[in-house]
Each structure stands twice: as C-alpha cells, then as structure tokens.
A and B are shown apart, each in its own frame.
Chain A
C-alpha cells in the first residue's frame, strides 16, 4: 500500500476547528411507577420521543413490561363522551380495544392513534388474577418512557366537575408548598372544598387518598379530636408519587389551570 495515500494530506482547508456538540438534542426519561392499586391514574409527564408537540400516544408512553394480557388503559374522549381504550393482547402488545368491562368505550379505530396532551392522565386497570390471566404481581413497577421536557405543558381543570390531571414531574410532587402542586396553578383560584383524589394502593376505593382545599390552610386532611370532639384541618405534607396523576374535583364554577 502506498503510505502516502494511506494518510493523504488532509485538512488543507481547515484552519481552525470549532468545537461541535454531539450530545443528543433530546433527553429520554424512564419513570417507574410503583403502585399496587388495581386501578391507578397514570400521568402523561413525557412527550413523544423525537417530537416537538406536547403530546404522546399512551401506547408509546406506557411500556408493556410487567403488564399482563387484559390490562387496559382508558383515556376520556371528551368529543365522543366515551373512553378511548387499549388493552394488552395475547401477544403482550397494546391493541385498540372496543370493549372494556364497566366502561363505555369508543369503537372508533382512530383510538389507537390518539395522542394525548402532556399533563393529562389516564386510567390503568390491572385486574386481579381471578379476573384475568394475570401472572405479574402488581408489586412490580409500571414503566413510562418518553422525552423529557422542562416547560410548555399545562392542564386545565373544568369548572364544577372532575378532571384527570397528570403532573409533568419526574420526581414526587409535593401537594402544598413552594415547588409543589399549589405553586403550579397559573390561572384561577383554588376554592374551598376543591378536592384532589390520588389512588395508589389497593382495589377500588381502598387505596384512595382525598385532600380537600381549605382557605388559609391549603390542601388538607381532616382529623378528629376524640376528647375535645373537634374537627381540624391540617395541610398535608404528602406528595403525589412520580408518574401518578389524580382526579381534581372542582367545586367552583370557574376553571383552573396548572402550568408544568
């Protein structure tokens, strides 16, 4: 081999070389959601990998790892006033579902392609072994995968009703206090009696925690003094576990917006 041609004179035109960045433009994030509840509210805190829209398909977001055939996802379709649904099929993949027990499911085939806005939340149902073919214990985490973002998502809570809210956070989010959920409100005012319902453990209602907004206190839990026979409200120091969403029950007849 001609040694000169092996390393031909190179870079003759290069007089200086700028430093290039080869770190990827985007950062991916995996969130392990730990919950033993039969039905949990999953947040949509990440966006489509490689995408720029503040949205993601739930079937891309929720990994099938540790899920079993028959496990289902349900997202409220406000246009159709029904649920868009996906179920783990016998191959272990997400498939569009036309029926899920206990839910009025949208039969539109477009459901599989539906991307939901970051900041929303969906139901994840994992039946008991006796009800389905479950082999994985619900003690194993559910994984969310997507593209990390720092801003640009918001969630609007409907007036006088219930709204699924999915905090866009990659760590547990305090309910009260600086940096917590209450500090994320950018439009509207909390109203006395507003409630946050978080489901984290158990079946049906047993794993639900409800926090009620009390003016001057914040989101609080009630305690009863058995000796003085008095009721008091104490601001909670609880957090919303990472990856979980919650139900916001709005008492006021105006909306509310959280900006993440």
Chain B
C-alpha cells in the first residue's frame, strides 16, 4: 500500500467564515501509485477524499461516481494525479462539511476512471461531469495507509479496505445486442442500452455455463445515446457470446 499522508487539523484562518475554527485536511501520496491492474496512475486521474461516519463501514463508490450510502459517507474533495502521485492538497472543511472531522473519519481513494473509445484505443482518464462529479469509475482502491492527525483533535482511524469493484446503481439498463457482423476475422457486435459509466466487453465460450472473459480484455465505455460497437476476434473454438461488464 502506498504511503499517503492525510492531515486533519484546525486553524484560525480568518478567510473562512463558515466556522469559527475551520478544519482543514491535507492529503498526498508519495507514489508512484498504480491502478489495480498494475499500470501506473495517469496524470489527471482522480484521488477522492472520502468521509465515513463514525461507526459505519464504507460501502463503496458506484460506477457513476457516487457513494453507495450517502447517509454514512461522502465524497468530500478530489485531487488530480500528477507524476504518478497525489500532490500535497489542502482542503478546508467549511460550511456543511465543517462537522465532518468530528463525526467520522477520512480516507483517500485512487479512482480508476480510464476509458477507451474502442477496444484497441489507449486508455485515457475519464471525464468529469459538468456538475463536478466523476462520469465513470471502473474501480477504486484505498491509498491511505494511516492518518497523521497532526494537531487535529478530531482525527480518527482511516477506513479499512482495499481494491474493490465499484457498485452499479440500480437503474443501469440491461444491454441488448442488436446486430452482429463478421468481417476480416473479426466479430462486430452492436450493443444498445449502454451507459457511459460502465465498461462493456464480451465473454465467450464453447458452453453456456463456461463463458470466460477471454475475448475482449479491455472494455469499452457505453455511450450517452446507448449504442456502442464491440469488436472481438473470431476464434474458431468459441460458440457463445454475451455482453458483460468489464
């Protein structure tokens, strides 16, 4: 686990007017950080500062960039990766966030938002929505090993956890394959009812009960209009194909 420093403290910053003694959080990672698949984190990737209510367990982040349980956790702030790590980031807990430090704990997660336009394209860091939320989260992993409380009396232990798969919201439509073509040794599959924050791939196998993820090792994100195209090799040994979440 990469070293990450996360400081929570109180300061008398006069510029912050929401609280008499504003609380600040400082976090960073020494790096180099890696995604769960072993690739180095790309510049621009997002580190998320997450608050979890005291006594509660962090239930995760959904594929469309929300916390699973908004009553016991909160995405507080984010920072962009630079040079394979999270640079020192200060964030002031002001306004409605002012009480967070005294009511729970913080941890920092590295989000994997990489997307591919096509199966063969190089992955790029995903987009951020106009409202500031993350468009799509493939996976995430905790990078906070410990909390250095510094002068903060409110700091608590970090959330336990490791690399876990994102949870999907309940309203994700079930995709449907609308056409299939074969050309040049490739199977070209058109899929409808996809969403941008999910990566799709194809599983295949010679039996219905033995369909491994052995065709498309890199997923393709869904599209806002729902239609995407997946292209896989046309292996002679496979007989059944199904669209899956990567």
Partner of B170, one of A12, A18, A32: A18
In the assembled complex, the Cα of A206 lies from the Cα of B143 at a distance in Å of 70
B178 contacts A by Cβ under 8 Å: yes
| Nearest chain B CB to A168 CB, angstrom units | 14
Interface contact tally, CB-CB below 8 A: 152
Contact present for B180 and A17 (CB under 8 Å):
no
In the assembled complex, the Cα of A11 lies from the Cα of B74 at a distance in Å of 8
> Looking at the complex, which of A19-27, A74-82, A175-183, A186-194 is the stretch in contact with chain B?
A19-27
In the assembled complex, the Cα of A20 lies from the Cα of B171 at a distance in Å of 7
Residues of B within 8 A of A115 (CB): none
**Mask: chain A, 10-52; 1 = CB below 8 Å from B; 0 = not:** 1111111111111111111111100000000000000001100
> Looking at the complex, which of A1-9, A105-113, A125-133, A226-234 is the stretch in contact with chain B?
A1-9
B177 contacts A by Cβ under 8 Å: yes
**Mask: chain B, 127-171; 1 = CB below 8 Å from A; 0 = not:** 010011110000000000000000000000000000000011111
| Nearest chain A CB to B140 CB, angstrom units | 12
Contact present for B78 and A11 (CB under 8 Å):
no
A215 contacts B by Cβ under 8 Å: no
Contact present for B174 and A25 (CB under 8 Å):
yes
**Mask: chain A, 137-160; 1 = CB below 8 Å from B; 0 = not:** 000010101011000000000000
Q: Which of A12, A17, A28, A29 has the most CB of B within 10 A?
A: A17
B67 contacts A by Cβ under 8 Å: yes
B239 contacts A by Cβ under 8 Å: yes
Partner of A14, one of B68, B91, B175, B182: B68
Contact present for B170 and A7 (CB under 8 Å):
no
Q: Which of A3, A32, A143 has the most CB of B within 10 A?
A: A3
Residues of A within 8 A of B243 (CB): 22-24
From known contacts A7-B48, A22-B168, infer whether A27 and B240 are also in contact, taking CB-CB under 8 Å. yes
Contact present for A24 and B70 (CB under 8 Å):
no
Residues of B within 8 A of A5 (CB): 132
From known contacts A4-B77, A6-B80, infer whether A19 and B168 are also in contact, taking CB-CB under 8 Å. yes
Contact present for A26 and B177 (CB under 8 Å):
yes
Residues of B within 8 A of A252 (CB): none
From known contacts A24-B191, A29-B239, infer whether A4 and B91 are also in contact, taking CB-CB under 8 Å. yes
Residues of B within 8 A of A10 (CB): 65-67, 70, 75, 133-134
Which residues from 171 to 194 on chain B have a C-beta closer than 8 Å to any C-beta of chain A?
A: 171-172, 174-180, 182, 187, 189, 191-192
In the assembled complex, the Cα of A145 lies from the Cα of B178 at a distance in Å of 13
Contact present for A24 and B46 (CB under 8 Å):
no
Residues of B within 8 A of A17 (CB): 62, 68-69, 167-170
From known contacts A6-B46, A6-B128, infer whether A49 and B180 are also in contact, taking CB-CB under 8 Å. yes
| Nearest chain B CB to A226 CB, angstrom units | 43
A239 contacts B by Cβ under 8 Å: no
Residues of B within 8 A of A148 (CB): 208, 240
| Nearest chain A CB to B46 CB, angstrom units | 7
In the assembled complex, the Cα of A30 lies from the Cα of B204 at a distance in Å of 10
B21 contacts A by Cβ under 8 Å: no
Residues of A within 8 A of B236 (CB): 32, 141
Residues of B within 8 A of A29 (CB): 239-241
A63 contacts B by Cβ under 8 Å: yes
Partner of B177, one of A6, A9, A50, A65: A50
B34 contacts A by Cβ under 8 Å: no
A162 contacts B by Cβ under 8 Å: no
Contact present for A22 and B177 (CB under 8 Å):
no
| Nearest chain A CB to B132 CB, angstrom units | 3
A170 contacts B by Cβ under 8 Å: yes
In the assembled complex, the Cα of A29 lies from the Cα of B238 at a distance in Å of 9
Contact present for A49 and B182 (CB under 8 Å):
no
In the assembled complex, the Cα of A29 lies from the Cα of B245 at a distance in Å of 19
Contact present for A27 and B66 (CB under 8 Å):
no
Contact present for A22 and B200 (CB under 8 Å):
yes
Residues of B within 8 A of A28 (CB): 177, 180, 189, 240-242
Residues of A within 8 A of B167 (CB): 17, 19
A to B CB contacts below 8 Å, 6 in the list: A6-B46, A13-B70, A15-B69, A20-B169, A30-B238, A65-B182
Given contacts A11-B75, A17-B169, 11 further A-B contacts (CB under 8 A): A1-B80, A3-B79, A8-B133, A9-B76, A11-B68, A17-B168, A20-B171, A21-B174, A27-B240, A27-B241, A65-B182
